[in-house]
């Protein structure tokens, strides 16, 4: 593990990513109109939840619909690229008047905003646009590699020629990575949200982040896809679906980012036992590293920090206010505090000043086949998205283990005492997950 004094700083990593993005704008045929700006957005659907609360799945379900604009994955990386990372207390909560360059954030956001299903890059124009999307995304994932657009374009051409399944986004991108790794061997496919057969085995069993620098995009890394880029007409006509695990702490910021949009928030809730169990798995997984906090503390989290040097430096998922009191607590208590912190912030902030309408949706009603269709029908109606003609299939997104009902019961002796903390219990009660009803939680 690289000594802290030798770790590239946030400024070095974001500056490297910025250089690559500027190089893409100069070298690639621009597939996004120059006049596109977030001020043109008229409707936003924001999925707000705690980490491991099911927001990735719901975001994917909504994004898969044809009349929707969205990013692949979260926009957290764009916050970081624009200096909107940790507040003065080291948490993800930011001041309402935090300074940032709105025009630059808008340009970054719209460059990744797209709609419709992924399509294979068949034409020369499509391959050029796909290479631009891949270059931008890799710059967020591996900033210090500074891989140029021309290099990615060559890898895309090679992958399209050699891949027998170029119509599958995961297979095609895995082929692109394979080509890029010849000159950039530090790129590790095992950190991507790819099927196991394409992801491959990690280079080492040691728990470690993808690289030693600042994590602009947090693993598991998003797999880039070629979709239809946003134009000003689409921004005015279609809803923009967004989700970021830190938005629970930043709801007032959405108004500043999208000043002319009607903001409809889906507050997605999930029982604390299931969420805490998912967080616990994620902390011990090879993904979800968010910040190296060793400038403030050495982590001594029982259940995590014994897993290696990185586990004494790297925080996972979002950082709630008061996190410094958690740096020497058991992992299950850290996870319970993360769940409670996100929902406490959402409960306190959601209102006319931050949202034009709010719909609270229990995640369990989406996963239960008996209630799924009716629940999703109400979600689509609330979001103003046309109802799908076919039943919705649940994709597997950012999973650490095979999804299944009530997996948390395997760890009930660890999870339930953490959920019984008074602060956690208060939030759980407000959300309808009451003590004594744990047998009904899935």
Residue 322 pLDDT exceeds 80: yes
Instruction: Write down the pLDDT at residue 31.
Output: 59
Instruction: Write down the pLDDT at residue 402.
Output: 57
Residue 201 pLDDT exceeds 90: no
Instruction: Write down the pLDDT at residue 7.
Output: 64
Distance CA 368, CA 442 (A): 9
DSSP state of 45: E
- 3-state helix, strand and coil shares in percent for the chain, rounded to the nearest 5: 45, 10, 45
Distance CA 263, CA 245 (A): 17
Residue 161 pLDDT exceeds 60: yes
Instruction: Write down the pLDDT at residue 381.
Output: 98
Instruction: Write down the pLDDT at residue 11.
Output: 96
Confidence of residue 3 (pLDDT cuts 50, 70, 90): low
Instruction: Write down the pLDDT at residue 5.
Output: 55
Residues 415-439 have pLDDT tens digits of 999 999 999 999 999 999 999 999 9
Rounded to the nearest integer, the mean pLDDT of the chain is 94
Q: State the DSSP H helix or E strand holding residue 70, giving kind and residue range, or none if neither.
A: strand 69-70
The verdict on pTM exceeding 0.85 is yes
Distance CA 260, CA 285 (A): 40
Instruction: Write down the pLDDT at residue 204.
Output: 81
Q: Which residues pair with 315 in a beta bridge?
A: 291
Residues 59-106 have pLDDT tens digits of 999 999 999 999 999 999 999 999 999 999 999 999 999 999 999 999
**Would you tell me the crossing angle of helices 272-283 and 331-349 to the nearest 10 degrees?**
130
Residue 164 pLDDT exceeds 90: no
Q: What percent of the chain has pLDDT over 90?
A: 88
Q: Which residues pair with 240 in a beta bridge?
A: 44, 69
Closest by CA to 126, choosing from 25, 222, 24, 226, is 226
Distance CA 272, CA 249 (A): 18
Domains along the chain with CATH numbers? 1-25+118-226 (no CATH), 31-112+228-442 (3.40.50)
Residue 242 pLDDT exceeds 70: yes
User: What is the edge-to-edge ordering of all strands in the sheet holding 69-70?
Assistant: 228-229, 114-115, 69-70, 240-243, 43-48, 262-269, 357-362
């Amino acid at each position: 593990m690289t000594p802290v004094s030798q770790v590239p700083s946030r400024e070095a990593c974001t500056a490297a990513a910025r250089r690559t993005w500027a190089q893409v704008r100069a070298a690639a045929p621009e597939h996004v109109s120059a006049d596109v700006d977030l001020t043109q957005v008229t409707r936003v659907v924001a999925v707000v939840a705690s980490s491991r609360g099911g927001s990735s799945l719901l975001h994917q379900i909504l994004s898969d619909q044809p009349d929707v604009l969205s990013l692949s994955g979260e926009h957290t990386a764009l916050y970081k690229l624009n200096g909107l990372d940790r507040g003065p207390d080291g948490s993800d909560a930011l001041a309402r008047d935090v300074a940032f360059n709105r025009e630059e954030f808008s340009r970054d956001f719209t460059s990744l905003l797209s709609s419709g299903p992924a399509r294979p890059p068949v034409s020369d124009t499509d391959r050029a646009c796909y290479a631009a999307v891949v270059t931008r995304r890799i710059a967020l994932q591996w900033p210090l590699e500074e891989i140029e657009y021309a290099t990615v374009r060559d890898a895309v051409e090679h992958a399209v020629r050699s891949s027998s399944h170029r119509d599958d986004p995961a297979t095609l991108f895995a082929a692109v990575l394979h080509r890029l790794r010849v000159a950039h061997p530090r790129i590790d496919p095992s950190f991507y949200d790819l099927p196991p057969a394409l992801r491959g085995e990690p280079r080492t069993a040691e728990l470690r982040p993808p690289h030693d620098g600042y994590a602009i995009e947090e693993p598991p890394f998003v797999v880039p896809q070629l979709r239809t880029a946003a134009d000003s007409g689409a921004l005015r006509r279609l809803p923009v679906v967004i989700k970021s695990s830190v938005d629970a702490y930043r709801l007032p910021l959405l108004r500043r980012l999208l000043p002319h949009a009607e903001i409809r928030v889906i507050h997605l809730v999930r029982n604390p036992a299931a969420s805490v169990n998912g967080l616990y798995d994620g902390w011990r997984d090879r993904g979800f590293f968010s910040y190296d906090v060793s400038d403030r503390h050495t982590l001594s989290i029982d259940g995590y920090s014994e897993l290696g040097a990185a586990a004494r430096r790297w925080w996972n998922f979002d950082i709630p206010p008061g996190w410094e009191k958690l740096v020497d607590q058991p992992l299950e208590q850290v996870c319970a505090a993360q769940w409670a912190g996100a929902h406490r912030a959402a409960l306190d902030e959601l209102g006319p000043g931050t949202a034009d309408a709010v719909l609270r949706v229990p995640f369990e009603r989406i996963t239960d086949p008996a209630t799924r269709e009716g629940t999703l029908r109400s979600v689509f109606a609330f979001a103003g998205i046309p109802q799908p003609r076919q039943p919705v299939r649940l994709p597997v997104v950012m999973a650490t283990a095979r999804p299944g009902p009530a997996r948390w019961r395997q760890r009930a002796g660890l999870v339930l005492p953490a959920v019984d903390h008074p602060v956690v219990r208060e939030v759980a009660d407000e959300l309808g997950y009451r003590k004594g009803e744990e047998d009904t939680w899935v």
